[in-house]
Amino acid sequence: MENNTAYKLIDGKFSSEDADSILTALFNYKIDYHQREDFSKHIRFNQDIEHSKKRVLELTETKETIKQLIADSKSNNLNLVIKGEITIQFEKQ
């Protein structure tokens, strides 16, 4: 089994509006995922959720930075070329 596989998630040229829609949905989903996991782990197992809290903060800050890039592209009448890749690796537990 190959140990390192990559898949295209996003690969194209987008208008400001489309880029905003796609990237906002992606970041919102990841933020929501971490918040639900936090709640579940805390309630069910009383586990430490600091990693997820940190990740939510990082994702929120990145989302705001991207929102500014999109606003800049819109005000300058520019499209955005977005390329995103998912890399999956195996490692022993």
What is the CA angle 73-74-77, rounded to 5? 85
Across the chain, mean pLDDT equals 89
Give residue 89's pLDDT band: very low, low, confident or very high (50, 70, 90).
Answer: very high
Q: What is the Cα–Cα distance from 73 to 67, expressed in whole angstroms?
A: 10
Residue 89's nearest CA partner among 2, 3, 1 is 3
pLDDT of residue 6 exceeding 60: yes
Give residue 77's pLDDT band: very low, low, confident or very high (50, 70, 90).
Answer: very high
Gyration radius of the chain's alpha carbons: 17
Question: What pTM was estimated for this model as a whole?
Answer: 0.80
Q: What is the Cα–Cα distance from 30 to 35, expressed in whole angstroms?
A: 9
